[in-house]
Amino acid sequence: MDLRLPLASPTAAPAGAVPVVELLSADKLFADGNRGVAPISLTIAPGEFVSLIGPSGCGKSTLLKLIAHLYEPSEGRILWWRGAFDKVGRAGRRLAFVFQEPTLMPWANVATNVRLPLDLAGVPRGEAVARVGTALAQVELGDRAGAMPRQLSGGMRMRVSIARALVTDPDLLLMDEPFGALDEFSRNRLDEDLLALSHERRLTTVFVTHSVYEAVFLSTRVIVMAAQPGRIFAEYTIDEPQPRGESFRLSDRFAVRCRELSGLLHAASVASRSVPA
Amino acid sequence: MTPLIERAWVRNALAPLLVGIFVLIVWQAFCVLRHIPPFLFPAPTDIAASLVENLPTLLWALLSTMKVTLLAFALAAIIGTLTAFLFVQSRVIEVSLFPYAIMLQVTPIVAVAPLIIILVKDTFWSLTLCATVIAIFPIISNTTIGLRSVDPGLLSYFKMNKASRWQVLWRLRIPSALPFFLAGLRISSGLALIGAVVAEFVAGTGGRSAGLAYEILQSSFQLDIPRMFAALVLITVTGVLLSACMALLSNLLLGWHDSAMEDGR
C-alpha cells in the first residue's frame, strides 16, 4: 500500500474562504521509529467543529499536536491560514490548546492561571485583568476568580483551562480529550457550554474524543481514524442546525447519527487490526 | 460539642506536652527515691537549678553556637540554591559535579573537621565552614529535584505560548521547586546546628568562640553533669525552635500545596 497517496478530503469550506489549517500529506515518524500518523491530507475551514475519533493508537492526538505545531511533520507540509506557523501570530491570529488535564499552576489562583498566556505575551496588566474577567464569566466561573485550583471540582478546573484558552481570543481552538476524565453529567454540561461558546465566537475547533455521543453532539464534521498506520479512515458530516441542546441529544436524529458513527468507528477498529504495520 | 481530645490543637500540642510532663515526673521520682547523686544522673530540678545558676555563661555560649549555625545555614541555603540552579542549566555540569556533592555528603564531618580547623585560621570561620559543608547537601539535592519536577503538561503549555527561558524559570520552575526547597531548608536547618556543635567539639575552642559544645566538654571534665544537661537542653530547644520556624515558613509559603492540607477540608 502506498502510504504517500493523499486521501481525498472533502471540505465544508465555502468557496473562497481561507482554510484555517491545511495538511498536505503531512506525516509524523517518531525518533524511535514509531509512525505517529501516515501521510494525511486534511483541510479545516473557518467555523468548523471537527472531532477526531478512533481506536487507541490511531494517532488522533498526534494529528492534533501536528495541527498545534507541538510536533513538526516528518514529511509533507502544514499550512495555517495558507501560511507557515511563524506567520500565525503576526497576522493577529491565535491558536489555543486545551490538554487532557487542566494543567493549571497549583500555586496560583484561578484568575492568575487564566491570565498566564496574557502575562507570557506581555499584555498590560489592566487590559489582561479585564479580559480574564470576561473569559471567566464565559465559563461561568466569574465568582471563583480568587479560588485555588485544589478547591475546585474536576469540571470547574477544566472550565478554568478553557477560560485560559479563550482569554487569548483564539481563532483556532484545539482540544485533546478535554472532558475524558469527567463524569457524564459534567461532561454534557461542558459540551453544551463549549458548543454555545464556539458558535457565538465563530471559533474553529478541532476536538479529540473517545466518545461517539460527544462527537455527534459537538461536531459539524467527524474524522474517523484507524490505526496501524494512523490514518483517516472516514469522514462523517453532521449538518444539524445550531444551536444544539438537550433536545438534540434526546432526538431520534441524534440516535441515528450515533448509530451510524458507531458503525464507522467499528469498521475503523476492524481495519486497524487487519492492516499490517 | 466536640470532645476536647478530638480537637486538632489539643491533640497536636497538649498530648506531647503531657507525655513530656509524665516523663519528667517519673525521672524526678526515680532520682529522688533512689537517692541518685546529681554527678551521676541529675534530676530535672538539678538541671533546672544549674541552668539558672549558669545562665549568663550558657547564654553566651548559645549565642556563639547560634551565630555559627545561622550563618552556616544561610550560606548553605544560598550556595546550595545557586549550585542547584547551575545543575539544572545543563546535564553536563550536573553529571560532572554531582559526585562531589555526594562525596561532601557521605564523608563524616567529624573526620574532615580537624582538617578544616587546621586549614582555616579563624576559629569562627572554620566552625562555620564545617557546619555549612554538612548543611548544604539537602538544599542542593532537594532544589535540583524541585527545579526538575515541573509538570510536563505545564511545560509544554509554556513552550506553546513561546515563553522565554526566564519566564519558564521564574513563573514555572521556581514555584514548582518551592515545596522541595523548603523541605530541604528544614532538614538543613537541623544539620547546620549539628554541624556547628560537632565542629565545636572537634575544635574544642574556648575563649570568645566558646559554644555550647565547649560548655559540655568543660562540664564533663569537671564532672558537672547537671550543667552538661543544661547545655544539652539549650541545644535541643534551639533545634526545635529552628525546625518550628522552618515549618512556619513552609505553611506561610505553601498554602496552595497538598502538604499544607493535612488538617484542611
B102 residue type, one letter = I
Average per-residue pLDDT for chain B: 87
- pLDDT at residue A133 in the model: 92
Partners of residue A97 in chain B, C-beta under 8 Å: 157, 160
| Cα B42–chain centre separation | 28
- pLDDT at residue A83 in the model: 87
Q: How many CB atoms lie within 10 A of CB A14?
A: 9
Residue A4 confidence (pLDDT) above 70: no
| ipTM surpasses cut 0.95 | no
**A88 and B CB contact within 8 Å:** no
A209-213, A272-276, B114-118, B165-169 — which is least confidently predicted? A272-276
- A31-77 pLDDT, tens per residue? 777 777 888 889 999 999 999 998 888 888 889 988 988 888 888 88
pLDDT over 90 percentage in chain A: 33
- pLDDT at residue B263 in the model: 39
**A101 and B CB contact within 8 Å:** yes
Residue found under cell 458503525: A263
Q: Which of A89, A107, A117 sits opposite B256 (nearest CB)?
A: A107
CA–CA min distance A148, chain B (Å):
7
A142-151, B109-118, B129-138, B216-225 — which is least confidently predicted? B109-118
B16-23 average pLDDT score: 92
Chain A residue at shortest CA distance from B176? A107
Q: Does domain B43-263 have CATH number 3.90.1640.30?
A: no
**A99 and B CB contact within 8 Å:** yes
- pLDDT at residue A241 in the model: 84
Higher-pLDDT residue of A254 and A89 is: A254
CA–CA min distance B8, chain A (Å):
22
Chain B residue at shortest CA distance from A110? B256
Task: Give the integer Cα–Cα distance in Å for A57 and A50.
Answer: 19
- pLDDT at residue A161 in the model: 93
Partners of residue B262 in chain A, C-beta under 8 Å: none
List the 58-77 stretch of A: residues with Cβ below 8 A of B.
Answer: 68-70
Q: Which residue of B150, B151, B155, B160 to mutate against A (max A Cβ within 10 Å)?
A: B160
pLDDT over 70 percentage in chain A: 93
pLDDT over 70 percentage in chain B: 92
Strand order in the sheet with A35-44: A35-44, A21-29, A75-80
Q: Which of A70, A108, A148 sits opposite B156 (nearest CB)?
A: A70
Strand order in the sheet with A204-208: A95-98, A172-176, A204-208, A49-53, A221-226, A231-237
- pLDDT at residue B209 in the model: 64
Residue B20 confidence (pLDDT) above 80: yes
B110-126 average pLDDT score: 86
Residue A90 confidence (pLDDT) above 90: no
Confidence at A5, pLDDT banded by 50, 70, 90: very low
Sequence-separated (6 or more) residues with CB below 8 Å from residue A257: A216, A238, A240
Asked if residue A208 lies in contact with residue A50, where contact means CB atoms within 8 angstroms, the answer is no
Please compute, for residue B150, the number of CA atoms within 13 A of its CA located in the half-sphere on the CB side.
20
List the 128-187 stretch of B: residues with Cβ below 8 A of A.
Answer: 151, 153-154, 156-158, 160-163, 167, 171-172, 175, 178
CA–CA min distance B60, chain A (Å):
42
Q: What is the largest CA-CA distance in chain B?
A: 77
Task: Give the integer Cα–Cα distance in Å for A160 and A165.
Answer: 9
**A120 and B CB contact within 8 Å:** yes
- pLDDT at residue A69 in the model: 87
Q: What is the pTM of this model?
A: 0.77
Confidence at B82, pLDDT banded by 50, 70, 90: very high
- pLDDT at residue B262 in the model: 42
Residue B54 confidence (pLDDT) above 70: yes
* 3 state SS for chain A: CCCCCCCCCCCCCCCCCCCCEEEEEEEEECCCCCEEEEEEEEEECCCCEEEEECCCCCCHHHHHHHHCCCCCCCEEEEEECCECHHHCCCCCCCEEEECCCCCCCCCCCHHHHHHHHHHHHCCCHHHHHHHHHHHHHHCCCHHHCCCCHHHCCHHHHHHHHHHHHHCCCCCEEEEECCCCCCCHHHHHHHHHHHHHHHHHCCCEEEEECCCHHHHHHHCCEEEEEECCCCEEEEEEECCCCCCCCHHHHCCHHHHHHHHHHHHHHHHHHHHHHHCCC
- pLDDT at residue A3 in the model: 43
Please compute, for residue B15, the number of CA atoms within 13 A of its CA located in the half-sphere on the CB side.
9
**Positive or negative: CA dihedral A212, A164, A198, A236:** negative
- pLDDT at residue A9 in the model: 44
Partners of residue B255 in chain A, C-beta under 8 Å: 148
